[in-house]
Structure 1
Amino acid sequence: MKHRPLLLALTFTILAVATTTTNAKADGSHRLSFSAGVIRHGDPGSTDFLLGGEYEYRFFPTLGAGLLGQYIFSTPSETLIGFPVFLHPLAGDWVVYGAPLLSFKSDGNHVGARLGTRAPLPFGVLTLTPELAVDFIGGYRNYLFGLALGF
């Protein structure tokens, strides 16, 4: 349990090395981002800091799929793993996505879902991306507000 942040960091480092292109607007392209933010838990009504990462493979200009992982610095700590499907309604960078989630905590594991959106702001090869999402886990709603740095 103590090594989850290290495992997440290693996983996303490997994904970064495997990424061969940074242009997410074409078919068959990759996108990798690292994020920080806060999550407002519906139970017990607390707000905690989180760090995470996300990978997307874009099959078509309007559709992608990937992997996300986040570590929440709560008591007890929580690790989220998700498998998002990304919809790019305008075939650009704006994204609406949904993901089944696996939540791992020392006091129990849960299955849930996430719905979210984000609008990247390009800065050369990098993007700065504000993100809003809501998680439905264990009968509660958790609200995520984050900022990601993408490649």
Structure 2
Amino acid sequence: MRGLWLGIIALTFGTGSAAHAQESAGEGIVEEAEGPHHLSLVIGGTHVDQADETAFTLGVDYEYRISELLGVGFVAEHAFGELDSTTLIAAADIHLFEGLAVQVGPGVEFAEGEEFLMGRLGAVYEFELGNGMTLSPQLHYDFSEGEDAVVFGAAIGRAF
């Protein structure tokens, strides 16, 4: 099953590349007037294959854009229900093409009264809606000492 999820992540990268090929080259991802900050509300789900459970997930994602290529920030998410876990991640967003970014970083997961070190590898595709607003479907693979998880969903955000 792990191979299936890694295949989905790879497909996500390929889809973003194809979409970028249709866009004009040279456009900036974040316009100067919008500023280097980006804050998003993430709504989605977390699936743990080992437990065969999927939980509603809500989170916040903050990024400070250092350059057109790199942003740094944090992600804080909570999976509700049976999973009942909170994840905090120090994230780096590597902006490969217009709208397409890879998100990686280490973190800590709090679940069942324990703390687990974890890491994230994922893909985000940011659609600009105007006035600094964005809509970003995303897919992440979280690997940890506890249980690995796939986190999926969409984020509505604003650059400022």
TM range (shorter): 0.7 to 0.9
* Amino acid aligned to 1:99: G
Aligned equivalent of 2:57, options 41, 50, 54: 50
Deviation at 1:94, TM superposition (A): 1.5
Aligned residue for 1:81? 88
Alignment: residue pair count: 127
1:130 paired to 2:129: no
Aligned residue for 2:17? none
Contact 2:109 2:115 in 1 (8 A): yes
| Unmatched runs of 5 consecutive residues or more in structure 2 | 1-28
List per-residue Cα deviations over 1:31-57 (Å, max 9, x = no partner): 110011011113312000000010000
SS state at 2:66 partner = strand
TM-score (norm: length of structure 2): 0.73
Aligned equivalent of 1:24, options 25, 30, 35: 30
1:105 paired to 2:114: no
| Unmatched runs of 5 consecutive residues or more in structure 1 | 1-22
Question: RCO (CA 8 Å, sep 6+): is it higher in 1 or 2?
Answer: 2
Give the whole-Å Cα distance in 1 for the aligned partners of 2:83 and 2:93: 30
Aligned residue for 2:7? none
1:69 paired to 2:76: yes
TM-score (norm: length of structure 1): 0.77
Deviation at 1:129, TM superposition (A): 0.9
RMSD between aligned residues? 1.7
Percent identical pairs in the alignment equals 29
Give the whole-Å Cα distance in 2 for the aligned partners of 1:76 and 1:96: 26
Deviation at 1:25, TM superposition (A): 4.9
